[in-house]
Amino acid sequence: MRGQSGVEFMLGVIVVLSFVLAFYVATFSKISAVPDRLQIEQLCEEVAVKIGIVDQYGDGFSQNVTMPDKLQGTVNYNIMVDTYALVCQSTQSAIRPHTATSIRNATGSGPPFMMPVNKTVSITNRAGTVVIT
């Protein structure tokens, strides 16, 4: 009898530990996604604000923004410039802040186009048109 109760106790402990471990893994995976979302939101908002500033200050005004290679050092992302909006995506989140102006790339073509990563990007007002190079 004592042997059977010991086995039952150990099985109970294993079941409880399994539930605790499952809860911990589920919670940790959600928490680890938060910094990625915050970083893509911050980067996208920075680009959108600089586009707005360049548009507001007029012809010849320029701002630079440094685009990292990856978020958190490991998460891939992209920012697509669309008509009056930026579409910012990472493997775990996506946001779409609006801009108040039409945007072109360096070749003069309009949206949609992808912003380059892992470089400093120049945002310039050229005769009333915001150009990203």
Backbone angles phi, psi at 29, to 5 degrees: -65, -35
Q: What are phi and psi of 67, to 5 degrees?
A: -95, 120
Burial of 53 per CB tally in 10 Å (0-12, 13-18, 19+): middle
Collapsing DSSP to helix, strand or coil, 76 comes out as: coil
Domain count, the chain: 1
Give me the pLDDT at residue 100, please. 60
Mean pLDDT score, 27-33: 59
Domain limits for position 12: 2-132
pLDDT number for residue 64: 92
Confidence bin at 33 (pLDDT 50/70/90): low
Locate 106 and state its tokens. Answer: 């360096």
